Amino acid sequence: MPGRMMMRMISGTHEFWYRLSGGLIGGQLGKAPVLLLTTTGRKSGRRRTTPLVYLPDGDNMVVIASNGGSDRHPDWWLNLMVAQPERGPKGGGPSAPRHEGRRGREGGGG
């Protein structure tokens, strides 16, 4: 798995093209839709944006916090557990709704 700095560079590049193109570039990974989730760092207080693949479920967006199979939770998930996201997910390009202050729930593994 790539190092932390490499992942931040990849995420930053993805976010840049997503925002610049209104989701036309980076809005999908294959056939899967991508959203940008912005959270506030629980330690740093800095805003961080992470591109995530999601599954639509009615009005909901389902994301899986697997961290690439690591034993460690992804930072964006830990930030969500501490505080509400500063800005909700943005998916599907510029016309997608923002879900201010919405929070998901942890699913059971099995």
Domains of the chain: total: 1
pLDDT recorded at residue 79: 86
Residue 18 belongs to domain with CATH number: 2.30.110.10
pLDDT recorded at residue 2: 64
Whether 48 is covered by a domain: the verdict is yes
**Angstrom distance (rounded) from CA 38 to CA 51:** 9
Question: How far apart, in Å, are the Cα atoms of 100 and each of 7, 19, 58, 84?
Answer: 26, 18, 17, 9
List of the chain residues with pLDDT < 70: 1-2, 83-110
pLDDT recorded at residue 80: 84
Taking the whole predicted model, whether its pTM rises above 0.75 is answered as no
Domain of residue 33 covers 4-91
Which H/E stretch holds residue 55?
strand 55-57
Encode pLDDT of 54-70 as tens digits: 998 988 888 888 887 88
pLDDT recorded at residue 50: 87
